[in-house]
Amino acid sequence: MTARPGSGFAIRLGRWLNPPTSRLQVSLGTAVVLALLAASAQTHAQTLPSGAAAAAIEDIVIGSRILADFGVLDGFGHVSARDPDNPDHFLMSRSLAPALVTADDIMAFDLDGNAIDARGRQLFLERFIHGEIYKVRPDVNAVVHSHSPGVIPFGVTEKPLRAIFHNGHFLGDGAPVWEIRKTAGEKNGMLVNTSELGKSLAQTLGAGSVVLMRGHGDAVAGPDLKTTVFRAIYTEVNARLQMQAVALGGPINFLNQYEQAKSQNVDRPWDTWRKQVGAG
Ligand SMILES: [Zn+2]
């Protein structure tokens, strides 16, 4: 097992989430990320929107790569941000593995999940997760949907996923679990591929930060993209720590309501993570 220079905590988390990675694979991966970002910047410098929207697009690209690097996203899952220039639109990639997303892949959608300018590009089937959450949560400006593996046991058992350490404080006394069968019946496709299903999921999320999707994954919401990426990562970490605490046996001393309400500075981890994916 080799250590990735400078990645600290992420190395340890990466070893939890992924098989050991060779130094060659890491080097190639970082080089590819750098090349893709540079190529995207050169190719699309003339067409990218300016200002806040351009920054949001960059954050989606980097956030997607960070979450893929942590193993929270794999070949599936997606990151979105509310369009800073139009609160009735959100920005998300065309259907593509998150680790491969570039700025040119980001598209605008209305909150019903209709692409504003599809140009024949394939769309994520589960884009309704994002639009329906933005509809009912004006405080939410970014959403992540993942198949975060550590949360699955908490969606299929009676054990709630609760805040067990400070970085998981936003989970509170337990993330709600959404059951697709209540809306789609027994014969369902396990995907949130309609507005009706997205609306049902958003209702279960309520005013919270995370909703678990039984036998599927989770949806994570936040006031900005950096915070939402932070929450998606630490939802996975919290789940694994809670499983370890359960394995030790006995009652678990979870965070109380005051500890759950702590504020969180996400700038430092974000700046670290973006360097680790080669985004400078
Ligand atoms: Zn999914």
Within its chain, how far is the Cα of 214 from the centroid?
17
Q: What's the confidence (pLDDT) of residue 195?
A: 97
Q: How many Å lie between the centroid of ligand 1 and the Cα of residue 139?
A: 23
Q: How many Å lie between the centroid of ligand 1 and the Cα of residue 252?
A: 30
Distance CA 147, CA 150 (A): 9
- Mean pLDDT over 254-268 rounds to 94
Asked if residue 178 lies in contact with residue 266, where contact means CB atoms within 8 angstroms, the answer is: no
What tens digit of pLDDT does each residue of 28-80 get? 344 444 444 444 444 444 455 669 999 999 999 999 999 999 999 999 999 99
Q: How many Å lie between the centroid of ligand 1 and the Cα of residue 193?
A: 9
Question: Which residues are bridge partners to 220 per DSSP?
Answer: 144, 210
C-alpha distances in Å from residue 89, one per residue of 59, 62, 194: 16, 20, 17
Q: What's the confidence (pLDDT) of residue 8?
A: 39
- Token pair of 153 as six digits: 């046991």
- Residues 6 or more apart whose CB falls under 8 angstroms from that of 40 comprise 61, 102, 103, 104
Domains of the chain: 50-275 (3.40.225.10)
pTM for this predicted structure: 0.84
Within 10 angstroms of residue 87's Cβ, the number of other Cβ atoms is 12
Distance CA 80, CA 84 (A): 12
Active site residues: 126
What tens digit of pLDDT does each residue of 102-114 get? 999 999 999 999 9
Which DSSP symbol is given to 49?
Answer: P
Predicted confidence band at 247 (pLDDT cuts at 50, 70, 90)? very high
User: Strand, helix or coil at 148?
Assistant: coil
Q: How many Å lie between the centroid of ligand 1 and the Cα of residue 92?
A: 15
- What is the 3-state secondary structure of 114-142? CECCCCCCCCCCCCHHHHHHHHHCCCCCE
Mean pLDDT (the chain) is: 87
Distance CA 1, CA 22 (A): 7
Q: How many Å lie between the centroid of ligand 1 and the Cα of residue 278?
A: 27
Give the start-end residues of each E strand in the chain.
78-82, 89-93, 106-110, 142-146, 177-178, 210-213, 217-222
- Cβ burial of 110 (10 Å; 0-12, 13-18, 19+) is middle
- Residues 6 or more apart whose CB falls under 8 angstroms from that of 166 comprise 255, 259, 262
Q: Is the pLDDT of residue 5 over 90?
A: no
Q: How many Å lie between the centroid of ligand 1 and the Cα of residue 244?
A: 26
